[in-house]
Structure 1
Amino acid sequence: MLDVIYKRQVAKWDVFEVELKGKTEGNPFTDYNIKGCFKGEHEHIYADGFYDGDGVYKVRFMPSYEGEYTFLISESFLKDGTDDIKGEFVVSEARKSNHGPVRVVNKYHFSYEDGTKYYSIGTTCYVWELQSDELIAQTLESLSVAGFNKIRFCVFPKHYDYNLGEPRSYPYEGTPIDSSVLTSDNFNDYTASLGNLKKGNDWDFTRFNPQHFTHIETCIYELGKRGIEADLIVMHPYDRWGFSQMTKEQDDLYWNYVIARFAAFHNVWWSLANEYDLLPEKSIDDWERYASIICEKDPYHHLRSIHNCFAFYDHTRSWITHCSIQRQELYKTSELVNEWRTQFGKPVVLDEIAYEGNIQHGWGNISGEEMLRRFWEAALRGGYPGHSECFMSDDNILWWSHGGKLKGESWKRFQFLHDIMLETPGYGLMPYEKCGWDEICGVPEEQKDEPIKDYYLFYYSFMRPSFRTLYFDDKNEYEVEVIDSWNMTIEPRGPFKGKFNITLPGRAFMAIRVKRAGLSQNSR
């Protein structure tokens, strides 16, 4: 009897999986295939499956509706004449913690598929999932305590300053070069002499290591339980193993495998690359080909981006759902959100606005106060800032790459900002150009490109006014709150009418929130 394993019930937006046993002769990763067709009253989805090792083949599906479903599995690894495998299952209501995939709404902003607001408070931990079990557990705990709801990390291991050790696993069968002599002192000489990165490595780029990917899936699942989006960096240039120099055919095989394994997780985002422009072996045609594979093979249309070092990719490309930006100017970061929104017409996610820390590199040694300032300024301009931290330590465990325990100060204050953003009417803020030249003001973004006229959030950054004079109209009363973004306090004032003064403590990082009296939180 054919051994088919699947559950008869799954919750909406969870992973439904069909498992089959099949041939192991030859190379199952390339010689055989498995595909699934999943049909309910409101959707009809086709999905590629994958080989999971030990003769096991799997195909996955993420249902977006409740109700009765059928599936039909076709494959090429069973005996000739085997009929397609059929089955039925029921999709129940979503778990309370699962609001579905994040989507773009209102042009510049995000929400979950069920309509719940989503304001990205993200962080970067490039290879946290490739560390020890103990360190991974610390990272998950830190993420939950900090209130982060997105994390960027790599599928491939990473080779760079402060990250010279071997990962817990590799994505392919084979053995790596001997890096036992590699130290921080000789890192630069070693990197300069790499030349052909394949030299010394012995990988079979047609045979994946399923345990590597299964472990990443476990981490994606754990993130999802905590309400955290997994922003997967699929390719990057920081490599001593040869993964950045695979052939076109090897790259395409990798992309198809990654999509088949990860796409059914509701909390996945696709980042084609971290710093795509530092991969000289890859052309724009290559990146466009990878994008076409995602668009064709991901039936759930997860968010898609590509991240720069120096030169921006053309974020107006139709396949790009949002801008993933690294600053291009030494001082200005969040200040340019207005410009980027206008230029690209999409959500602006500042995935690298420099990191809190004290390492030698300028991208990793700003203060916690400056990091928080950039967060507030970006948010009020209608953007979505991202965090990381790089503090020197005896064990060389830096959050930016390894995760673990957070050491900085800015992360303690992001949840406060997030709560304020959730209280904003509608979906997202936009910069209010009619405010004073010496202040930043965000107002709710309306679908008709007209802001709500009775909700304002002002921010004074590093400036320290002792009072501000405000005037909106002579008719309505306005409730005013003075917000200390660093000390996380909200002091009610008012109500006020006409022209009025608001006293301030004369210190940096203060904000003023103004709401027309009687305004509902969900007014549009």
Structure 2
Amino acid sequence: MKYGYFLFVFLWAAVSAFAQERVERWERFELTLPGPQTGNPFADVNLSAEFSSGKEKVKVAGFYDGNGLYKIRFMPKQTGEWKYKTTSNSKPLNGKTGSFTCIEPGPDNHGPVQVADTYHFKYADGKRYYPFGTTLYAWTHQPEGLEEITLKTLTDAPFNKVRMCVFPKYYSHVENEPPFYPYVKKSETKDVKGKPKFQWDLSRFEPAFFQHLEKRIDDLKKLGIEADVIIFHPYDKGHWGFDSLGKENDIKYIRYLTARLASFRNVWWSLANEFDYVKTKPRADWDDYTKAVVSADPYGHLCSIHNGSVYYDNWKPEYTHVSIQNGSTVEDFGRATLLRDVFFKPMVYDEVCYEGDLQQRWGHLSGEEMTEAFWQGVIAGTYVTHGETYKNAGDTIFWAKGGRLIGSSPKRIGFLKKILEEAPGPLELSDPWKDHHTSRADSSYYLVYFGKNMQPEWEFSLPRKGGPKTGRKFKVEVIDTWNMTIDERPEIFEIAETTDYRIFDKKRTSIRLPMTPYLALRIKEYRE
């Protein structure tokens, strides 16, 4: 008996508490504690901690990570000394204290993304963030080799946001079984067609599933990519039943997920993809799910809910921005700005159909159409998300499983991204009532987009509202958005006295344009 007791004490000491001593601002502090394994640690053990620095106090939830280990994670928002103390109904986990030092962030650490200037975004350190996203619904549910190919693709792609599901997806072109499941499996049988049928212990999460998800979110962070994490989706069709767990289990899942992921600085919360197609969840329940996420996240990460056919109540304060599925909003001028004027929040058109060759109407945009959608969104002061549905080797489709990009739009989207990031600030329509072609960052910087329209010349003309004063000078660059060229013209334009709603050059000068579609003009103040 004595030998067994001392062996237990030795093993317990060997798995002692572990935590970092120094953590960058907005990085993840992690405390690991050994604790009970008997019974059901997921249900029986409560664990939290309060972190304090001066007058700042933050309470966070802990979680069971399997193998007798419990974790508490925290993202410090300010530098200096932080102290913590745990609270638990389990004696070995209760009353644990410690401290760490939060240091200045490294050069690639700008903090989490936040809303800025009503319709736009910034990192926590003030650096501008312009979302140029792509769609990778089930990329973390694929074989390791394919996931690594996806990461390599993202390394060379222009995208800085990825829409991705927590739960696996059972849908056209993505019907494979994932390597990990979110719950402990009780049994697996075959139906009459030979397809697997599962029973789950919904009181026990599978830590390996979430550890894998976390690894991939960290992989995205290393690439400077935000993870727009989709908490629920309707693409299960009864195969696993993760879309119909019941409200009580849904809330438990939300609490476990947020305890694990809220400290990741590059996480955004998307309550659902196509919430209105999740027929097992009444519309009224989405408010409860949203409040459960927001109340469990002490850092205020960005939060949205995505629609199928019917919009949700996006004006509610829990939603920081609007995530919309609607391809028509970016098919022509003057459309994208309309919803922005309804919700008064950043507009991200997260699904506008996809570049590809699928038969479904949402899966066969041309590269030109996908690129056009991005320009229409950006000109209107909104943002657009990419997706690609070309069939690739092994029936891999980027939008679903990841892999390699073969479409023609990503390079052009990257070209636009560079143009926007070089601007002195985010774009807004100069005159949203009458001119849906002309956007500006300020009175010294304009972007005019023609789309499919072709014309032989352009007379220097800008909206009067918020425009430059008489005598200021400008130069014009002609941008071919498809061929990705920029042609600086030699003319110098000088602003004339304004008498109407437009501003013209003193000499009413025009410039010749090539008769090709998808042209834009970049107009910048000229200083001699």
Length-normalised TM-score, structure 1: 0.90
Secondary structure of the structure 1 residue equivalent to 2:336:
helix
Shift of 1:128: 0.5
Q: Cα–Cα, structure 1 residues 333 and 31, in superposed 2: closer, same or farther, change >3 Å?
A: farther
Task: Find the counterpart in structure 1 of residue 459 from structure 2.
Answer: 469
In structure 2, C-alpha distance between the alignment counterparts of 1:30 and 1:130, rounded to whole Å: 26
Asked if residue 510 in structure 1 is aligned to residue 510 in structure 2, the reply is no
> What is the Cα-based RMSD across aligned positions, in Å?
2.1
- Alignment length, in residue pairs? 493
Quick one: structure 1 residues 433 and 321, their matched pair in 2 at CA, closer, same or farther if it must change by over 3 Å?
same
Q: Over residues 56-83 of structure 1, what are the superposed CA-to-partner deviations in whole Å (9 max), with x where a residue is unaligned?
A: 100100011111111111222335xx75
* Distance across 2 between alignment mates of 1:286 and 1:334: 36
Compared CA separation, residues 177 and 127, structure 1 to 2 (3 A): farther
1:213 maps to 210
- Please tell me the residue identity of whatever aligns with 1:250: N
1:359–1:453: structure 2 CA closer, same or farther, 3 Å change rule? Answer: same
Q: Secondary structure at the match of 1:395?
A: helix
Task: Tell me the equivalent position of 2:379.
Answer: 380
- 1:237 aligns with one of 234, 238, 247: 234
Deviation per residue, 1:182-227 (Å, 9 max, x gap): 8xxxxxxx9xxxxxxxx93210111000000000000011101110
Give me the whole-angstrom Cα distance separating, in 2, the residues matched to 1:518 and 1:43. 48
In structure 2, the partner of 1:99 is: 110
* CA–CA distance in structure 1, aligned partners of residues 516 and 384 of structure 2: 23
* Partner residue of 2:220 out of 223, 234, 239: 223
Q: Are 1:486 and 2:482 counterparts?
A: yes
| Structure 2: runs of 5 or more not aligned | 1-11, 463-468, 495-504
Whole-Å Cα distance in 1 between the matches of residues 328 and 450 of structure 2? 22
Q: Counterparts of 1:314-463 in structure 2 under 5 Å? A: 314-327=313-326, 329=328, 332=331, 335-393=334-392, 395-426=394-425, 428-433=426-431, 440-444=437-441, 452-463=442-453
Alpha-carbon distance, 1:433 to partner: 2.2
Question: Could you tell me how far apart the structure 1 residues matched to 2:146 and 2:189 are?
Answer: 25
Partner of 2:257: 258
Q: CA deviation at 1:290?
A: 0.9
Alignment-derived partner of residue 4 in structure 2: none
Distance in 2 (CA, whole Å) between partners of 1:160 and 1:390 is 13
Q: Report the residue type matching 2:472 in the other structure.
A: N
Q: 1:63 aligns with which of 76, 81, 87?
A: 76
Preserved contact between residue 34 and residue 50 of structure 1 (Cα < 8 Å): yes
Q: Does 1:167 align with 2:170?
A: no
Find the partner of 1:145 among 152, 156, 166: 156
TM-aligned CA distance change 1:436 to 1:180, over 3 Å: farther
Q: What is the Cα deviation at residue 328 of structure 1?
A: 6.3
Shift of 1:375: 0.3
Structure 1 residue 4: deviation in Å?
A: 1.2
- Counterpart CA distance in 2 for 1:345 and 1:331 is 18
Offset of residue 495 of structure 1 = 2.0
**CA–CA distance in 2 between the matches of 1:134 and 1:42?**
48
Q: Distance in 1 between matches of 2:332 and 2:276?
A: 19
The residue type paired with residue 37 of structure 1 is: E
Gaps of 5+ in 1: 183-189, 191-198, 445-451, 520-524
Amino acid at match of 1:429: L
Q: Could you tell me whether the CA contact under 8 Å between 1:471 and 1:500 is conserved in 2?
A: no
CA–CA distance in structure 2, aligned partners of residues 265 and 414 of structure 1: 27
* 1:113 match: 124
Alignment of 1:10-49 (within 5 A): 10-41=23-54, 43-49=56-62
Superposition TM-score, scaled by structure 2 size = 0.89
Matched residues in 1 for 2:88 and 2:408: separation?
A: 53
CA distance in 1, matches of 2:454, 2:305: 38
| 2:409 partner amino acid | S
TM-aligned CA deviation for residue 505 of structure 1 = 1.1
Deviation track 1:102-156 (CA, whole Å, cap 9, x = no partner) reads 0000000001000001000000000101111111111111112112100000000
Task: Please give the alpha-carbon distance, in whole angstroms, between the structure 1 residues aligned to 2:392 and 2:423.
Answer: 39
Q: Percent identity?
A: 40
1:334 and 1:374 in contact (8 A); partners too:
no
Separation (CA, whole Å) in 1 of partners of 2:416 and 2:191: 43
| SS of corresponding position for 1:460 | strand
- What is the one-letter code of the residue matched to 1:509? Y
Shift of 1:432: 2.2
Whose Rg is larger? Answer: 2
Secondary structure, aligned partner of 2:431: coil
Match among 493, 496, 511 for residue 496 of structure 1:
493
Cα 1:324–1:488 shift into 2, 3 Å: same
Give 4+ residue runs of structure 1 displaced > 6 Å after superposition.
none
Q: CA deviation at 1:386?
A: 0.4
SS at match of 2:476: strand
Structure 2 residue identity aligned to 1:486: W
| Distance (whole Å) between structure 1 residues aligned to residue 470 and residue 72 of structure 2 | 63
Amino acid across the alignment from 1:64 = K
Distance 2:329 2:265 in 1: 36
Change (3 A) 1:178 1:466: farther
The superposition leaves residues 158-187 of structure 1 with CA deviations (integer Å, 9 ceiling, x where unpaired) of 0110111111111000145648958xxxxx
Q: 1:89 to 1:360 in 2, by over 3 A?
A: same
Equivalent position SS for 2:492: strand
Aligned match of 2:167 in 148, 152, 156?
156
